Structure 1
């Protein structure tokens, strides 16, 4: 059934006539919460609670929430110098309960000439990828069950299946090539606040063998190439925004309002401050990051050499477009010379908790790793291999960034929700490092410019550039951000050729002249 399942899955992603969810959103009486059960998804207090909460907001508030989201998508095309007028569809992904906001967003997208495509998250092992839920989804009554069954494809994964799935995928995209060519990419509404989940190892759960892991890497690589041929990376964009759910606690209404404020912070203010940071970073080729107290982070990051500092930069000035909210400057490091230890005492990645996570880098690649989730080293290493390395024997640092959103950080401290925030917000709350592909994967040849007109030249590293010789060697199909919170951060300094440093952050506070306003939330 692989051919049938792949064709259905790909059609759902690009064919606007498959409007099952759209009709529920646009035609239902959203004040009658029975509409939620029309999806056939599990409905928890989070879904009903969000729907009830949004029903208490004014039409203006709902439209403003939707406008932040849809404008982020539109501006992503503008900043990427891509033509949104060539696109006819947008993939909306959301958790049930947000229909009132999604309805407003659909109307706004239609004003841009974009029709929605909305599909259910994958439920069968042929289409699933680990524990990820991509598409529309209800609640999750049993995260441990999903974790136990994340590798059920081990039951049938072999080279014949891989080739059959790739052929099926190619055939399906060929069938829907016209719809795929005008698809603009995803617009995602993420949620957070669910009770943190730390999985346990179940011996009976299926797991990929070493041979199957290599086949999975091959499958991911080849399927990425197929998708990019039909939905071209240098022509598509995306946006992501996140909101809390009632499970976050009794302060849910206050936290929701706080997140709305964070999602609509003054991007001009952040653009100016972040430009100051970028101008300092661009004066050197090395950045040193150190932890403090019992955080053992000690990293050196090698930056690309700039030929003309008046026209070129290494760092993108990230304001509120594709990654909402505002608050980071990021780059793709040079792998040679990048190395050291990345250590975080506790972090949540894709909904999974990692305790005492350590990654050791040499020449920009992870060469050793450990955590303290399980009793044995073998279990801990397998946990990292499954959920961070994705079974690659080595994986590079695809991104280095400095988060500047101290407002979000202090809101997390005030409400005690730091462990529940999604990476979308958490990555803005300190320096972060992504392992896997660069931020520009599949679109490295498309020029990208900052608001000051300078071109970001750090779109490639030594691995992604291999696409020009053998594309199968260039991509990993993953990008996992790991953030060091401000309270664990000792310093971030740019280092010149003489070993002298200029500090951007010391003891978790911004000290670079021109960035002092970022400390105001700390002082409050």
Structure 2
């Protein structure tokens, strides 16, 4: 039945190339869409008869480029996937909706590789329905309605399958490829369907050059960090059966070894692809496994496409499908242990172009999305309890980082495996000083305008309680930070950083003002117009919330990582995972303990960490929808921009921890050794 639907749709699309039933300016658009679909059918035929799998590497690369060439820089300027071009050629209303349709159709690339014929039939039928409407008098509203019903009707396919992929290990397309491919033959990379750039194949090539012992070491620190995360928070890993592995293509050799390690813990892998449909993806953010991003501007341009059709009824429909699917798979969901992520860094920082032609959420839609996110998170927490799950994350560089890639890669392996016990001892010295404080004063220097007081939780029993967590290498690898959830009331001042890279976007002169722990003002210098700067932060740091709390204050202690970044000139390319260990950092959004504040957690010295809540998260006791923001973005001040960090006690005594970028608290001077060596 599905195959028949597919063939019927394909026959109709073939006619689009020769028919003359759609007038200008739309004729060219539909011919291009037909060409794209027929190219995918050609690919599908080669995959089904086994020819594709036998192609030589050069032929696979040609196929890969052919599949993605229309959105690659240089081609994108005259692609209907580009809102500017689509709106110029087709008019704004039609251009936006047809551009969204093309972006949705592009998801068919990966569906072909995964053998999802039903998905292909659904998408092609959508294209035909829209085409039929343009054979008559074009009506953008009618087309929008068509897309709306596509999204609403097929939620129970796309969204339900998405949830199943997240909890069922038998949904194993990627796992099968990783475990059954010859990873020394780089042709395997082209079987995933993702865009493959030099970063992916050179990463795989480099990993293939490393001895088995190094691969094992990389996998072990990753999987052991995951296990220790459960131990340190008193969570029972034996109750779990599934781990979600998220990574970027090229790291398969490490992932394969990690899968073996996880299986010894009783965990089977779920490795799902980053979403490609407007029905399932979260803006431009990649959650899952993926290859190269063919064009980050393309992804950014389409991040809010759902604004063109989304309403409250549609979001309610999505929640109904989620509820039904989770309920059907509640046993499997309860066995979900959490994500284990391998991140990458080293790409050129991306600053998006702001376009007037892109779809934008209205204020009412933004409010709907925030309510939806809240209800969705509550639902997920009902089936995958926050107090029972954990995570880990580790990062490695990609070849784009520069000519010294292999040397940098070795340095990052060293950083990811630093002596946790040494850091634990030094960080405890910092915590002992911080525990005496009423608040902490952070002051910038060298042009950094930070002047911020962070209020600390009071201790009832300092012998048994502590304010800061002593974070070594478990969930956040590498070692190197102490952190707390600040008291919001009394937390006031300005946070400023000259340049920072957050969630793959660069910010220049980012400045955030806090009033009683909540964001009250913000700006940056990315764009000429202040309005665009504020919108950029509102969309990508505040995630469209009117304000956010200061959910975390931390002091990074990994001066080795800092020196490495300076040595190779890669400070702006370091991921937040490592960058947050390279100076004090501040997270806007939820605390580090969201959804599990009531679980008692302890430092290695046995003291309970009592600063797990703030005045926002505590609202969960009355109304959980008002307690969480479902985001947490870390912003780090680099050591060279740090004037001082000073603890102010109740009796106004000052204890200076860092001054002019150096640790000055007795017992922490060893952290300056890498800094000294770098100056020689």
TM-score of Structure 1 vs Structure 2, range by shorter chain: over 0.9
Give the structure 2 partner of residue 256 of structure 1.
409
Return the alpha-carbon distance in structure 1 between the equivalents of residues 465 and 306 of structure 2.
46
Residue 101 in structure 1 maps to residue 254 in structure 2: yes
Deviation, structure 1 residue 127: 1.3
Give the structure 1 partner of residue 193 of structure 2.
40
Deviation, structure 1 residue 441: 0.2
SS of 2:437 mapped into structure 1 = coil
**Dislocated runs of 4+, deviation >3 Å:** none
Deviation, structure 1 residue 517: 0.5
Matches within 5 A, 1:154-233: 154-233=307-386
Give the structure 2 partner of residue 325 of structure 1.
478
Return the alpha-carbon distance in structure 2 between the equivalents of residues 209 and 500 of structure 1.
50
Residue 403 in structure 1 maps to residue 556 in structure 2: yes
Deviation, structure 1 residue 2: 1.3
Deviation, structure 1 residue 500: 2.8
Q: Higher helix fraction: Structure 1 or Structure 2? A: 2
Contact kept, 8 Å, 2:556 with 2:580, in 1: the verdict is: yes
Out of 264, 268, 281, the residue aligned to residue 421 of structure 2 is: 268
Matches within 5 A, 1:148-159: 148-159=301-312
Deviation, structure 1 residue 228: 0.3
SS of 2:248 mapped into structure 1 = coil
Deviation, structure 1 residue 393: 1.1
Out of 174, 179, 183, the residue aligned to residue 26 of structure 1 is: 179
Give the structure 1 partner of residue 278 of structure 2.
125
Return the alpha-carbon distance in structure 2 between the equivalents of residues 449 and 517 of structure 1.
25
Contact kept, 8 Å, 2:446 with 2:640, in 1: the verdict is: no
For the aligned residues, what is the CA RMSD?
0.6
Matches within 5 A, 1:286-301: 286-301=439-454
SS of 2:541 mapped into structure 1 = helix
SS of 2:344 mapped into structure 1 = strand
Q: Deviations over 1:195-239 (max 9, x none)?
A: 111111011011111111101101111100001000000000000
Give the structure 1 partner of residue 579 of structure 2.
426
Q: Deviations over 1:227-267 (max 9, x none)?
A: 10000000000000000000111100000000000000000
Out of 565, 570, 586, the residue aligned to residue 412 of structure 1 is: 565
Out of 602, 605, 621, the residue aligned to residue 468 of structure 1 is: 621
Contact kept, 8 Å, 2:159 with 2:280, in 1: the verdict is: yes
Q: Deviations over 1:133-157 (max 9, x none)?
A: 1111000111011111111110112
Out of 506, 515, 523, the residue aligned to residue 668 of structure 2 is: 515
Q: Higher strand fraction: Structure 1 or Structure 2? A: 1
Deviation, structure 1 residue 499: 2.8
Give the structure 1 partner of residue 633 of structure 2.
480
Matches within 5 A, 1:343-492: 343-492=496-645
Contact kept, 8 Å, 2:165 with 2:171, in 1: the verdict is: yes
Give the unaligned 5+ runs of structure 2.
1-153
Give the structure 1 partner of residue 224 of structure 2.
71
Return the alpha-carbon distance in structure 1 between the equivalents of residues 535 and 638 of structure 2.
25
Give the structure 1 partner of residue 62 of structure 2.
none
Q: Deviations over 1:103-148 (max 9, x none)?
A: 0000000011000000000111111112211111000111011111
SS of 1:389 mapped into structure 2 = coil
Residue 61 in structure 1 maps to residue 214 in structure 2: yes
Q: Deviations over 1:78-110 (max 9, x none)?
A: 001000000111000010010000000000000
SS of 2:633 mapped into structure 1 = strand
Give the structure 1 partner of residue 168 of structure 2.
15
TM-score for both structures, normalised by structure 2: 0.77
Give the structure 1 partner of residue 400 of structure 2.
247
Contact kept, 8 Å, 2:663 with 2:671, in 1: the verdict is: yes
Give the unaligned 5+ runs of structure 1.
none
Q: Deviations over 1:376-413 (max 9, x none)?
A: 11101100000011111111000000000000000000
Deviation, structure 1 residue 284: 1.5
Specify which structure has the bigger relative contact order, considering alpha-carbon pairs within 8 angstroms and separated by 6 or more residues: 1
Residue 142 in structure 1 maps to residue 295 in structure 2: yes
Deviation, structure 1 residue 162: 1.3
Give the structure 1 partner of residue 205 of structure 2.
52
Contact kept, 8 Å, 2:297 with 2:352, in 1: the verdict is: yes
Deviation, structure 1 residue 497: 2.7
Contact kept, 8 Å, 2:488 with 2:549, in 1: the verdict is: yes
Return the alpha-carbon distance in structure 2 between the equivalents of residues 482 and 166 of structure 1.
32
TM-score for both structures, normalised by structure 1: 0.99
Give the structure 1 partner of residue 18 of structure 2.
none
Return the alpha-carbon distance in structure 2 between the equivalents of residues 161 and 455 of structure 1.
44
